[in-house]
Structure 1
Amino acid sequence: MAGDPFRVIIIGGGPSGITAAYALYHAGIDFVVLERRTNVAEDLGASLVLGPPSLRVFHQFGILDKLAEIGGNLYENRAFTTDGQVFKSTRVFDVMVENHGSGPLAFHRAHLIQALYDNLPEAAKARYFTGKKLAGIEATETGVVVTCDDGSSYAGSVVLGADGVHSATRREMRRLALAEDPSREATWDAVTPYKTSYQCMWASFPRPTAPGLSNETQGTDSSVMYISGTERAWIFLYEKLPATTTERITFTEDDIEAYAGRFADWPVTETLKVRDVFSERLSAGAAALEEGICNNWSWGGRVVLVGDAAHKFTPNAGLGFNNGVQDVVALCNRLRRFVGGSGSGSGDEGAADDRTTTTTTTTTTTTTTTAKTTAKTTSTTDYAELESLFEEYRKERRELLDADLDESVRVTRMHAWASTWDWIMSRYILSWGFIQRLFVTFFVTPKMQKAGVIDFISKPEPFEGTYKWLHPLLKSVPKERIA
């Protein structure tokens, strides 16, 4: 309705969607999260590893201590041949601690999502709705209307698509763009924009070893990863496909059993094989490993994408969700400046005074809590300016994403000995501890230094290492940023 506060409709309540909810809440921008599943944290995935840049952002949100309670530090990186020979054993994560003041933390994916949801401020949690599968997006003169397959609808200013690799938001954005100008068909991203050359099966199980292990078992066109966290451990079984495809690949329970059977005798530690840990599984699944970066991240100032909806990496290097966090940071910093929202001082409390308003859908009326009214409203939004903002966001992120995509591509192929050069690099060069130290210091560290942070939340710096962050945390919030 004209004159309503600027409102973001987040499609997808997974890791990137919840991260966006935190950022928008602290920015004082009204939002709603629509998650298609009925359970906030279904146990469907495996692990997620958060690097120091992501941990800094969650520190700004005031929840780092809560996450540290369930996350496990990684210490040792080892590599095996398929016959069990150890050809690498290093403490490469110590280099990250030296350089940045923190190493990575490993989480069970469902546990991380549950913790992120549980620690949302109550006013933000009240805006998170499950069982809301996207059915369509329509543009209006004053914004957008999102309809769900249960018949409900939500009006807002912008749709933020955080709904993953098979994004329905991305599909709807494409439909809107081509309806506006059919000639875009030749240049717009395809319905399935990513290419797939590898597939992966994963499983989680009670941790059978010491925590903090990150092991690889390497072979030709196949590899295994083993990670041990606090309570659970995980395996990832990678296989190269016979041919690269853009088609979606699905797996049945029988497929997963057969997949694990092909790796049954592969070692994951000195004493355990895949068969030993798979038999103790608590959850398992499989998926194609899409790779690529979309060219189109937004349309008309009304729809914008973050995370796997905009770019997809293989998981070997652990850069997927970490880049989703950086997307949210870059986008929400710009949105807050555009909207003129109220920033959060310490990040420990709500961004603004909470007041109760009523949101009406086509099937029901729900009461939610919205943040303090922001400067922009649905009747004053300049969508041309907003689209320009979205394009600036895409360009800012593209440089680092290109580098991270290249790293993910190379790591996946080195682990699977995709070529003679990949085999030499992985088996004989990067297996040396001092070479790994050089790689982390001169390749990984400069990228981490550039990581962005929320520019409207003040917090003391949680991590300090040899190399300084190029974007330090705010020590105080300027008066005009305080609600």
Structure 2
Amino acid sequence: METKAPMKVIIVGGAIAGLTLAHSLKHANIDYQVIDAYPIASPVGASIAIFQNGCKVLAAPPAGTLLEQRFGYSICLLPRQRLIQLLYDHLEDKSKVHAGHGKKVIRVAHSTEGVEVFTEDGSSYSGDVVVGCDGIHSSVRSEMWRHAELNHPGIPLADRSAFASEFTCLFGIAGAVPGLPPGESNIVHGKPASFLTFIGLNGDVYFFLYMRMSERHLWPDSPRFSQEQGESLANAHMGAHITEDVTFGDIWTKRKTFTLLPMEEGVLQDWHWGRFAVVGDAAHKMTVNLGQGGNSAIESAAALANALNEANLCRRGDRVSQEEIEMALSNYQESRRPRLVTIARAAFEIARSQALEGLKPWLFFSRVFFDNTFLADLSTEQFLGTVLLNYIRKPIRLDNSLWLQGNNQSLTKPPSFHFFACAALVLTLSWILKR
């Protein structure tokens, strides 16, 4: 009986997307290596993330309770660093992870026979596919573009300017604050700043302060901010009310950690070329207002694992051919990009609604449209069609079938953003006429 050579994937980036992909490939019996320029679970970039078992929107009760009833999963809130550590701790073979000093990727060699990834310390790693799970400043994406430009048709010109930032976000963790009980969340719409807080079971406050920048920045010219700039921004909004009795200053004085970052937005047209693929923020980036960045990365990792597993099982030769790899990566993109564009657009709209820009913020103040089930219905729309690994047992709970429904189905389908825009216009005109 002919023994086929094991398929091997080189994963660059050992955070949420990269480690999710590693676990997924392990279940498919596909070999992998993980490379990261920083130690695993180091406090690099975003220091906080909100997770709901692959559905990252955290809504306050009763919406949160409704979501648990509908999907069988409660909402989970934890620091990003903690989630990464959990993913790493549960990897059976940690010798496959190469992280820390000297492991920054400096070059990727690509041929019809495979890929070879080179790092600063002189090491090299060979495989059939290289996957960039290395964030908005992805070195794998840069190498993918470099190789694509040496061939035809290259990459879409639009991808060079796909990412732009208009908002900043100051986010962090604070200790317990009187007046903010565990399990509560608060959204404050406003100009020039808007706020979001979640309170964990231990009382810790996960806070977000959003503000529009004075100008739009195209990647890679996104601004970098110092801790002093973060402190200055916070000090300017100490008196802002999060609730009637709690100000942002009450939270800020209990801060444990914080970071100020630009919030890039954008979705690439091409997520792959040759034996290259990008996942997560390297392919699709959005503001944190909707809470779907990390969960979208998890879904994309699962979709890529599904495509690679199918290619591995159906290959015709001893090794997966270039043609089979390219077909698998194309299937990965086709299975994810339409859903991602919709979610990214929703994040775009919500960021601007919370900043009180345009007419759409009226929906948040109209009791006609905003009731106890509104947030749950809106979140349900995002969760339907969630990508699951198709080669392991599906994690269905409470005997419900919502996880299996398509993107256009819902338990109670909420009106579209266009409907809300029209409704807001009617309300605005009515208010003007009454004056």
Q: Quote how far apart the aligned CAs of 1:459 are.
A: 5.4
| 1:282 partnered with 2:256 | yes
| 1:113 partnered with 2:123 | no
Partner of 1:381: 320
- C-alpha separation between the residues in 2 aligned to 1:456 and 1:186? 33
Partner of 2:432: none
**Residue of structure 2 aligned with 1:162, choices 133, 141, 157:** 133
- C-alpha separation between the residues in 2 aligned to 1:386 and 1:223? 45
| 1:433 partnered with 2:371 | yes
Partner of 1:476: none
Partner of 1:352: none
Q: Quote how far apart the aligned CAs of 1:26 are.
A: 0.9
- C-alpha separation between the residues in 2 aligned to 1:14 and 1:333? 20
**Residue of structure 2 aligned with 1:267, choices 241, 265, 272:** 241
Q: Is the 8 A contact 1:197 1:241 kept in 2?
A: yes
1:439–1:258 distance in 2 versus 1, CA, 3 Å:
closer
* Range that drifts further, 381-390 or 304-313: 381-390
* Secondary structure class of the residue paired with 2:404: coil
**Residue of structure 2 aligned with 1:214, choices 166, 182, 185:** 185
- C-alpha separation between the residues in 1 aligned to 2:308 and 2:395? 24
1:290–1:98 distance in 2 versus 1, CA, 3 Å:
same
* Secondary structure class of the residue paired with 1:202: strand
1:319–1:16 distance in 2 versus 1, CA, 3 Å:
same
Letter in 2 for 1:408: A
* Secondary structure class of the residue paired with 1:145: strand
- C-alpha separation between the residues in 1 aligned to 2:388 and 2:402? 16
Q: Is the 8 A contact 2:48 2:79 kept in 1?
A: yes
Letter in 1 for 2:266: G
Q: Is the 8 A contact 1:211 1:229 kept in 2?
A: yes
Partner of 2:159: 189
Considering Cα pairs closer than 8 Å and 6+ residues apart, tell me whether 1 or 2 has the greater RCO.
Answer: 1
1:387–1:43 distance in 2 versus 1, CA, 3 Å:
closer
Say what the alpha-carbon RMSD is for the aligned residues.
2.5
* Range that drifts further, 33-42 or 234-243: 33-42
Q: Is the 8 A contact 1:449 1:468 kept in 2?
A: yes
1:157–1:100 distance in 2 versus 1, CA, 3 Å:
same
After the TM superposition, which residues 347-358 of structure 1 pair with which residues of structure 2 at under 5 Å, given as runs?
none
1:468–1:19 distance in 2 versus 1, CA, 3 Å:
closer
After the TM superposition, which residues 273-352 of structure 1 pair with which residues of structure 2 at under 5 Å, given as runs?
273-300=247-274, 302-340=275-313
1:29–1:186 distance in 2 versus 1, CA, 3 Å:
closer
Q: Quote how far apart the aligned CAs of 1:388 are.
A: 2.0
Q: Is the 8 A contact 2:176 2:254 kept in 1?
A: no
Letter in 1 for 2:345: D
- C-alpha separation between the residues in 1 aligned to 2:163 and 2:243? 33
- TM-score, normalization: structure 2? 0.84
1:224–1:383 distance in 2 versus 1, CA, 3 Å:
same
**Residue of structure 2 aligned with 1:454, choices 389, 394, 416:** 389
Q: Is the 8 A contact 1:74 1:212 kept in 2?
A: no
Partner of 2:433: none
* Secondary structure class of the residue paired with 1:151: coil
After the TM superposition, which residues 397-416 of structure 1 pair with which residues of structure 2 at under 5 Å, given as runs?
397-416=336-355
Partner of 2:357: 418
Letter in 2 for 1:9: I
1:21–1:75 distance in 2 versus 1, CA, 3 Å:
same
1:45–1:463 distance in 2 versus 1, CA, 3 Å:
farther
1:177–1:458 distance in 2 versus 1, CA, 3 Å:
same
* Secondary structure class of the residue paired with 2:145: helix
1:129–1:40 distance in 2 versus 1, CA, 3 Å:
farther
| 1:239 partnered with 2:239 | no
Letter in 2 for 1:287: L
1:4–1:239 distance in 2 versus 1, CA, 3 Å:
same
**Residue of structure 1 aligned with 2:104, choices 114, 118, 133:** 133
Unpaired runs of 5+ residues, structure 2, are 407-435
Q: Quote how far apart the aligned CAs of 1:380 are.
A: 2.7
| 1:253 partnered with 2:227 | yes
- C-alpha separation between the residues in 2 aligned to 1:325 and 1:335? 16
Q: Is the 8 A contact 1:206 1:281 kept in 2?
A: yes
* Secondary structure class of the residue paired with 1:282: strand
